[in-house]
Amino acid sequence: MTLTPLTAATAEDPYGYYARLAREAPFAYDEELRCWLACSASTVDAILANDVFAVRPAGEPVPAIMRGTAIGELFAEMARMSDGPAHTARRRVVEEILGTANVAAIASAVPALDSEPLDALMFAFPSRAVATLLGIAAPHVAGIEDYARALARAIGPGATAHDVPRASEAVRMLSKIFAERFPDAVRRLNAIGLLFQSYDGTAGLIGNTLYQLAIAEPEIRRRIVEHAQTLTGFVAEVARLDPPVHNTRRFATRAITLDGTPVGDGDSILVLLAAANYDAEAAGRTFTFGEGRHACVAARLAVTIASVAVHALIEAGTDVARITRIGFYPASNVRVPRLEL
């Protein structure tokens, strides 16, 4: 299969392709995709650090199919989807929410490990962990991943009008669940937004970690899993070398010259985070969680959640060496493996 920037995330081994892009086409226009590709570490840095490049197109802060809906209201209030002073204020809200979170409670959110398939656990655990550490009452935690899934399908790339009503219903139900803990609407919506942000990205980090452990040499695998700190470090390396998030979008808010190349007002840029990870000039840096003002505020938390999940599976007797990867869930920006035991 010929790789493209939108098929690479779910390819068996796209990393040589990414390294070549970073080396040979650090910033180039893709005629087929009708957007710029930012591939090198320096170009990705320049774009993510520059206020000229926004997370949403000018004049469309909320996707048209969401306008006037509950999921549109959530989208409009999320720190991740805003720029300028609004982003700064909302990011501060998210930081305050996470600053009061009970991270030690994450382990209690582990689902019944003998009652669900491995893939279901990958998706269930992040949502349940986030809800638990945010202080949501235990009766509401089980099954909360179903609401997170509805949010992810509506907010992620390729969403259709059919996804919007389900996501809006999820927002309404989650608003009721989160209301007591977060009576302020802005705080409540951004807390709910953390469920979306943790859903497939953290599932991918769990799944990719399990796969990388499965293919590791037995002695190396044993050394990794026998100490929690070593396992956490391994998860952080998986986030760099087999990342769950491969690309993100930015939009030029005015004409600008980048790397000696003129970029037009309104031009779209596909930022290939995975390619930047594989740039020889990156010196081991991880771009998976973004950089600059829009760097993921919960990056460390995602690594913690994935580490706890993998550790819990191993403690429950899962033979990691028996795990096989049978493909990936369809996506253009995230890498979530289908796993079997």
Q: What is the pLDDT of residue 310?
A: 94
- The superfamily (CATH) of domain 8-340 is Cytochrome P450 (1.10.630.10)
Question: How far is Cα 258 from Cα 229, in angstroms, rounded to an integer?
Answer: 40
Q: What is the pLDDT of residue 107?
A: 80
Q: CA of 53: how far to CAs of 7, 28, 41, 92, 192, in Å?
A: 24, 16, 16, 21, 26
Question: How far is Cα 112 from Cα 313, in angstroms, rounded to an integer?
Answer: 10
Q: What is the pLDDT of residue 158?
A: 87
Question: How far is Cα 273 from Cα 292, in angstroms, rounded to an integer?
Answer: 13
Q: CA of 271: how far to CAs of 75, 151, 251, 302, in Å?
A: 21, 23, 10, 21
- Predicted model pTM: 0.96
Where do the structural domains in the chain lie, given as residue ranges? 8-340
Q: What is the pLDDT of residue 111?
A: 67
pLDDT per 10-residue tile (average), the chain, 341 residues: 93 98 97 97 97 94 96 96 94 93 82 73 92 93 94 93 96 97 95 93 97 97 93 97 98 94 97 98 95 91 94 90 96 96 87
Q: What is the pLDDT of residue 114?
A: 59
Q: What is the pLDDT of residue 333?
A: 96
Q: What is the pLDDT of residue 110?
A: 72
Q: What is the pLDDT of residue 113?
A: 60
